[in-house]
Chain A
Amino acid sequence: KQEVTQIPAALSVPEGENLVLNCSFTDSAIYNLQWFRQDPGKGLTSLLLIQSSQREQTSGRLNASLDKSSGRSTLYIAASQPGDSATYLCAVRGNEKLTFGTGTRLTIIP
Chain B
Amino acid sequence: DVKVTQSSRYLVKRTGEKVFLECVQDMDHENMFWYRQDPGLGLRLIYFSYDVKMKEKGDIPEGYSVSREKKERFSLILESASTNQTSMYLCASSRIDRDTEAFFGQGTRLTVV
Residues in A lying within 8 Å of B, measured CB to CB: 31-32, 34, 36, 41-46, 49, 51-52, 89, 91, 93, 95-98, 100-103
Q: List the 9 shortest-distance A-B pairs measured between CB atoms, nearest first.
A: A31-B98, A102-B42, A44-B104, A100-B43, A43-B106, A49-B101, A43-B107, A43-B104, A100-B42
List B contacts of A101 (CB < 8 A).
42
Decide: A42 and B106 in contact? CB cutoff 8 A. yes
Given contacts A32-B101, A44-B104, 5 further A-B contacts (CB under 8 A): A41-B88, A51-B99, A91-B43, A97-B48, A102-B42
A-B contact pairs, 6 of them (CB 8 A): A32-B101, A36-B104, A43-B106, A96-B98, A97-B48, A97-B58
Residues in B lying within 8 Å of A, measured CB to CB: 4, 6, 31, 33, 35, 40-43, 45, 48, 50, 56, 58, 88, 90, 92, 96, 98-107, 109
In whole angstroms, how far apart are the Cα atoms of A52 and B100 in the complex? 11
Decide: B98 and A95 in contact? CB cutoff 8 A. yes
Interchain CB contact (< 8 A) of A46 among B35, B43, B96, B102: B102
